[in-house]
Amino acid sequence: MVWEPTAYLAYNDERSLPTRDLINAVRTTRPSSIVDLGCGTGNSTALLREQWPDADLTGVDSSFEMLEQARRSPIDARWETADIEDWTPSSPVDLIFSNAALHWLNHHEELLPRLAALLSHDGALAIQMPSNFHRPSHTAIIEVASRVRWKSKLERLLRPQPVSPPERYLDILGEHVRQIRVWTTTYVHVLHGEHAVANWTGGATLRPILGALGDEGADFLAEYQTMLSEAYPRRDDGTTLFDFTRLFIVASNRVS
């Protein structure tokens, strides 16, 4: 999947809200080492540096395009190209931070305990993932992709529920850490412009779909936009309200 940093950053202010909330949930810690897993263009990394100016900070991502953008930034951090599933630090980490990345990966029941095992004795694992897959912004993707024209090309890419309910993560991580908090927050974003919600998902969720379709992606997008125009009508002032739920996990102090 090829990422387009410009499309992803179109709603940077809105996308950074959960990043800040996740940082606030762990800001009382004093980590000497921080790894930003799935750092993308480095926006979350910049906020981590702002909160912990003296920490050893590394951004990890598998996307060449995203990391190229990150490397052009003035952020004081190391940048590492790696798949999260295979990534292993050279030494235990005080804070493993992952904002809007782990939902792209399967097998959370194996992945999350593995990440928890990479923490230092007093370390913390802080994760945020979209949990909006039950709303029209995401169900419309499944519905359009399941139509006859698209099904054979897209069926293998569809992941209707890549993020489990909150209680499942309590079960997955509970016996691997000493403390864990799991919660959800629903943000109501006020978006501007035509097809605002489709533009939002076009920067992230739709990337593998449009990439697989090539030149036919425009036709798919038009069908998707039609569905969203009914689910998310523009208001009289030209704005569109977009409610987006996210799931947060903060786990700390692994079991020795």
Q: How confident is the model at residue 255 (pLDDT cuts 50, 70, 90)?
A: low
Mean pLDDT of 33-39: 97
Give CA separation, 221 vs 2, 70, 77, 159, in Å.
Answer: 17, 28, 37, 18
Proportion of the chain above pLDDT 90, given as a percent: 86
For the stretch 104-110, contacts whose Cβ atoms lie closer than 8 Å and that sit 24 or more positions apart, written own/partner, are 104/38, 104/162, 106/159, 106/162, 108/164, 108/169, 108/172, 109/172
What is the DSSP track for 53-116? Answer: TTSEEEEEES-HHHHHHHHTS----EEEE--TTT---SS-EEEEEEES-GGGSS-HHHHHHHHH
Mean pLDDT of 204-214: 90
pLDDT at residue 178 is higher than 80 = yes
pLDDT confidence of residue 8? 46
Cα dihedral: 134, 138, 140, 143 (round 10): -80
pLDDT at residue 2 is higher than 80 = no
pLDDT confidence of residue 23? 97
> What is the spatial distance between Cα 64 and Cα 34, in angstroms, rounded to a whole number?
21
239 closest CA partner among 199, 206, 195, 203: 195
Domains of the chain: 5-254 (3.40.50.150)
Assessment of whether the complete model's pTM goes beyond 0.85: yes
pLDDT confidence of residue 6? 54
pLDDT confidence of residue 153? 93
Average pLDDT value over all residues in the chain: 92
pLDDT confidence of residue 136? 97
pLDDT at residue 253 is higher than 80 = no
Mean pLDDT of 67-79: 94
pLDDT at residue 236 is higher than 80 = yes
Q: Looking at residue 4, what DSSP letter applies?
A: -
Cα-Cα end-to-end distance for the chain: 38
Mean pLDDT of 72-95: 96
Give CA separation, 199 vs 72, 133, 232, 241, in Å.
Answer: 25, 17, 13, 13
Q: Which residue has the tokens 């403390």?
A: 179
